Amino acid sequence: MVDIRELNALIEQKSSFIDTLMMGMNQNIVGQKHLIESLLVGLLADGHVLLEGVPGLAKTMAIKTLSQLIDADFSRIQFTPDLLPADVIGTMIYSPKTEDFSIKKGPVFANFVLADEINRAPAKVQSALLEAMQERQISIGDTTHKLPSPFLVLATQNPIEQEGTYPLPEAQVDRFMLKVVISYPKKEEEKLIMRQNLMGDIKPMQPLLTPQDIVDVREVVKQVYMDEKIERYIVDIVFATRFPEEYGLDSLKNMIAYGGSPRATINLGLAARAYAFIKRRGYVIPEDVRTVCYDVLRHRIGLSYEAEANNTTTEEIITEILNAVEVP
């Protein structure tokens, strides 16, 4: 049996840095609470994050600020149609002096990799990231190199401009634990953003944690208690995306082309645990699952032609599923 009181005390102690980290993020990022929480969920649950939003919503700045607060290696790759896989992962270079090949590592060898406008690069470049994201390793020539830990890919894409873009294939989109859609700030927040930028008030952050601290904290996150009823709830939500008629959602049957994969179930559990940790709790409640559900599932549900013709969104489908599946 798990001693919840003891576990709560441990989580309370180990999660004390969360408030400091959020305060640090809020110094440079005005508003965007959901974006900051999502980045922390990805960091603690060891999952990659895909950020979608129009330019100028502080996606890049949020990622850069987080890497400064953690004293981690940060690299940015600007994805363009003429990018090559070697530009991302590295290549072998021949040295006439030594008459031998040496390995030149690419920008992917960092703790935080910002893949800016990931859908602007062709499929062969996108697939170069697949091994890195899934296996946490890179193969150059006949040598395999382990990537540093923690390793987090934070990709951005612009949802509006589709000219000269290559939509991410399902196999790659599924590698992202979360797909976070970022909206415009509120009026008061925008006024603060303008004031902050006019005064040149954006400062480099002082590191609060080391990469090893994050690796250690992840081990504590794994101890967050998840009851069997919550596990059943997560499985029911994912199964409702595959077989909606079994949950009294006959109207969704023709709207969904394909549902969430087993990776969706795993990531929903991991993200709910990380969210409970952020909220300084040693156990997962249904509200944690419901909060992370949209970000975990929105890119894993395929819409049918009928859904697209009716302008039905994945968010609407997830809402209907959450309203129909019985909460423990």
Claim to verify: residue 251 and residue 186 sit in the same structural domain: no
Q: Output the domain CATH number for residue 245.
A: 1.10.8.80
**Are 178 and 50 part of one and the same domain?**
yes
Residue 211 lies in a domain: no
Q: Are residues 177 and 313 in the same domain?
A: no
Number of domains in the chain: 2
pLDDT score of 159: 72
Are residues 34 and 165 located together in one domain of the fold?
A: yes
Task: Please state, in angstroms and rounded to a whole number, the distance separating the CA atoms of residues 297 and 176.
Answer: 10
Q: How many residues does the chain have?
A: 328
152, 40: one domain: yes
Residue 272 has a pLDDT of 94
The answer to whether position 20 is within a domain reads: no
Cα–Cα distance, 134 to 81 (Å, whole number)? 23
Do 297 and 194 sit in the same domain of this protein? no
CA angle 80, 154, 216 (to 5 degrees): 150
User: Are 39 and 188 within one domain?
Assistant: yes
* Other Cβ atoms closer than 10 A to 325: 22
Kindly state whether residues 132 and 39 are assigned to the same domain: yes
Decide if 206 is inside a domain.
Answer: no
User: Which pLDDT score, from 0 to 100, does residue 208 have?
Assistant: 83
What residue has token string 């900051």?
Answer: 36
Residue 283 DSSP label? B
For position 127, which CATH number holds?
3.40.50.300
Any bridge partners for residue 144, and if so which?
139
Is 5 inside any structural domain?
no
Confidence at residue 179, expressed as pLDDT on a 0 to 100 scale: 92
91 with 193, same domain? yes
pLDDT tens by residue, the chain, 328 residues: 567 788 878 888 888 888 888 888 887 777 778 888 898 999 999 899 998 887 777 777 888 888 888 888 888 888 888 888 888 888 888 878 877 877 888 888 888 888 888 888 888 888 778 778 888 888 887 788 888 888 888 888 877 666 667 777 777 788 899 999 888 878 887 888 788 778 776 677 788 888 888 888 888 889 888 989 999 999 999 999 999 888 888 888 888 888 888 999 999 999 999 999 998 888 899 999 999 999 999 988 988 898 888 888 889 999 999 998 888 8
Residue 10 lies in a domain: no
Evaluate whether residue 2 is within a structural domain. Answer: no
Domain boundary among 163, 198, 233: 198
Find tokens 């990659």 and name the residue: 48
Residues 228 and 182 in one domain: no
User: Domain residues for 137?
Assistant: 30-198
Residue 213 placed within a domain: no
Q: Specify if 308 maps to a domain.
A: yes
Confidence at residue 271, expressed as pLDDT on a 0 to 100 scale: 94
Do 183 and 44 fall into the same domain?
A: yes
Contact 88, 139 (CB under 8 A): no
Last-in-domain residue among 129, 163, 198: 198
Amino acid at 297: L
Residues β-bridged to residue 100: 95
Q: CA–CA separation, 313 vs 324, rounded Å? A: 17
Nearest to 154 by CA among 175, 140, 139: 175
At 20 the pLDDT is 84
Note whether 184 and 230 are same-domain residues.
no
What are φ and ψ of residue 109, in 5° steps?
-85, 75
- Bridge partners, 51 (sequence order): 156, 180
Final residue of a domain: which of 149, 164, 198?
198
